[in-house]
Amino acid sequence: MRRSPVWLRLLVLVYVGALVALPLGFIFQQAFAHGVASFVSALSDPEMDKAMELTALVALVAVPLNAVFGIGVSLWIVRHPSRITRLLDALIDVPLALSPIIVGLMLELAYAQSGWFGHPLAAWGIKIVFSYPGIVLASVFVSLPLVSRQLTPLLREVGTHQEQTAATLGAGPVRIFFTVTLRSITWAAAYGITLTLARVIGEYGAVLIVSGNISYLTETLTLNIGNNFENFNAHQGFVGASLLATVSVLVLLALGFARHRERQRHEYRH
């Protein structure tokens, strides 16, 4: 293959550098601006630790929920197409198109104690808005299509012949799902789940509205970072931001590596 011209490569480097690499580096530079000792002591800030714990707890529930939902819904859309699945296919993208702030407002309207669903739920003693379930709900909502969008085209391409072959060889539905269906979508699902994780731990707008942003109670890591900047506690904010960025970059690197390995294993023989 011919190499692209030098000016084009330079332009791309400058563009990506100015947009991604430099600002990301800037966050780390600021986090360590007062030395490593100061960074380490900022790590044990009790409010930030509590916020990290909440973010982890939210991700722990929201990501598996959307993984199962995403796999189930894309199997349904691909394998049993109907008018309902066509509607579902269109609706499932809504969370991506809507601004998170609107998502937050929608959920608050519906699930606040005076809202449509919130009112009867409150009568049962279940509180959604301004508490943990509301944050999970907002996180699930904003990352809803990320798994199924990876899987639907792949499932169409893979088809059902492998599964039917497994059935002729004596395999039952559960075995077929785990040994054939899931294995052929593993990496696409892993990619979608990673995107979901990144989106869930990084969500700000929808969570801000639904959670009420209450310190030590409904303050996630992203909210904590925002709060620190607003309260003129910039260094603590940069430390939080550097942690969040590190997690995201690590997750993406791990996935890139896994994809690379998978592709190598399946390289065509020429």
Residues at the contact surface with other proteins, assessed by CB under 8 A:
159, 161-162, 164-172, 175, 179-180, 183-184, 186, 265-269
**What are the backbone dihedrals phi and psi of residue 125, each rounded to the nearest 5 degrees, phi first?**
80, 20
Least distance in Å: CB of 270 to other proteins? 10
Q: Residue 23: CB partners within 8 Å, gap ≥ 6?
A: none
Least distance in Å: CB of 164 to other proteins? 5
**Taken in order 135, 55, 245, 257, is the CA torsion positive or negative?**
negative
| DSSP secondary structure, 119-169, as one string | HHHHHTT---TTSHHHHHHHHHHHTTHHHHHHHHHHHHHH-SHHHHHHHHT
C-beta of 3 vs 266, nearer to other proteins: 266
C-beta of 22 vs 182, nearer to other proteins: 182
Q: Residue 106: CB partners within 8 Å, gap ≥ 6?
A: 98
Least distance in Å: CB of 73 to other proteins? 23
Least distance in Å: CB of 177 to other proteins? 14
C-beta of 117 vs 177, nearer to other proteins: 177
Distance CA 69, CA 152 (A): 13
Residue 70: name the closest of 125, 127, 145 by CA.
145
Distance CA 98, CA 94 (A): 6
Least distance in Å: CB of 163 to other proteins? 9
